Structure 1
């Protein structure tokens, strides 16, 4: 390709590990468009580590995508699944860049932050030929909700059949924001779906994210067929929804399962700053908005108290507190390939207003920010995929005419 450039990442090796780190320059945003981002990843006096010194190739695999939102790889196939927010599901060839529209997707409510959002394959695909989609859909009265559905994927025919809605987060709300909507499967093939708080602004104990009788501001857990696992933490609680795995979240747009521990990790947008990386625990309250590290838009006033001041909430393992500039995080992926051995077990997180791909080393639940990638491109990065077969990283950019980008090593 003639759109290839090279990055040399120097071996800085100068950072110290920071549990519950702070850093970042960028602004978390309800609209996902407001930003004072400078492309830096942390405050001036903070330190980063770099973990690899090698030539990386950056290529535009395909161009002209329309607000792509999510990526999924197909086993033993050169193509990727890519969602576009307007409602299209695409097959994109990783080598030629050719795109094919997949038929049979559901009707979506493509307003504001809504539309066709995440895509994931059943862990036993193709033996279990299910493809899962999250999307926003609306009722006749204009209220909308985060939906989860699945259908049978026929890649040769580029078609989904037998599509069915598995769940709609309750309640439906008159809002076009904070749908959350990321999917991951854990090591037991349980399915997790993130649901945002739908932008309710009554910050305090009566906020929807602090009320487990509804499904907003929560991570929901299902069996692969959409049924509720018998061991979900609130199954026997009459004052909580049995679908809820954790609550107290604002707008979680990243979920990924750790390849060794099996823990589910999550990223979520703060208000002004207050962005977070969390490790999920069954039944846990993650604080929003009674415990938070961010502040209100414009005023800079703290929202609630710090997580450390309450013993009934779980602190993030990494956060960007009020005054740091934030890092609105979207999709995330753990690196498991041996193509770059130094990256094995590392975490990559897509940055929107911050306009770079964040790279973190992970030691247990100690998270240290390493040298960022793509910080010089001016790209709002929506999702990242670590291809298990090649070790390449793929990212999609949040734009009307967007590229699918590959970061690889060893390509000439």
Structure 2
């Protein structure tokens, strides 16, 4: 089997690594890939958003299965286009992926179908937004409607910050067209958990619950990023919370999407806040999360190709998905200045010194001459598994200390909540 993975970050490296473990996979291509992925797959210089270029390549190479990592090509309809061309592809259609592509749409679906989420209102002009900030009070959360690479969410603890967020998104166009509409919602108090689930549109199989660390600094301080690290399983997701989330959030969401004429097939990611009143949805993603995928897939025992084919063929209920009874932690190493502006091309040292039982997922890397250099905000994900979270944390950070590049920064508290 020939497989094409679309994307070039840490999530895609994790997907390539897992797919390469399948005895059915003969060759993997990744577009565009990165310096680390190049060790496990043939990297193709086609951007993830270049759907026509990807289609042409898949036809020419007679690709048997395409797996899509990032959200942009999904919301742009890559799945619809490949299917129309008779090619096998994994992910939701454009109409289904809109649950991530538009926060306004996702909130409207939740409200209509009684799925627990924060109180909110949406706006397409700033004046009404400023009024609502006074009404809802602070802290509150300001969100750009469209895709903003995980950075379009601002938690405002005072009115001035909330108003500045509206101004930045709607007037200064910080996220371009993604900010033409915004949502302002109540601030939910609690602890976050990410539950990713496989679904063929009927059967829903949740993965091991994980926890991302969105803010750039220790102790959940500073601006939001695409994610500074993750671990699984997340003990905040007790068996009771897991079951509640399955029955009251995941199942109703998939059913709602079918009723709305947006049948959902692929990976559904529910970002939840575990509040005193129970779990509530913060956001949906229409694909594997990044960096949650890195530790979660390390714990997956079942062949990922078997799961993907069962989903595409609407027979997920016939498959038993098995997980290791272990824990995994992934620490993100970021460029100096991230999530703001940062320099690229910094030489990365120490990769060869990392122990064999630790996996370094490449996110923003490139090869320059004979060296691996930085080429993105999130550069590497250092991931380790162990019998428990404490052991995985220790292994991951011991490996982190062996790696270096100019300006490198990372959080020192990934997974600590699981222990405390």
TM-score for the superposition, normalised by structure 1:
0.27
Q: Kindly indicate which of the two structures has a greater share of residues assigned to strand.
A: 1
Higher helix share: 2
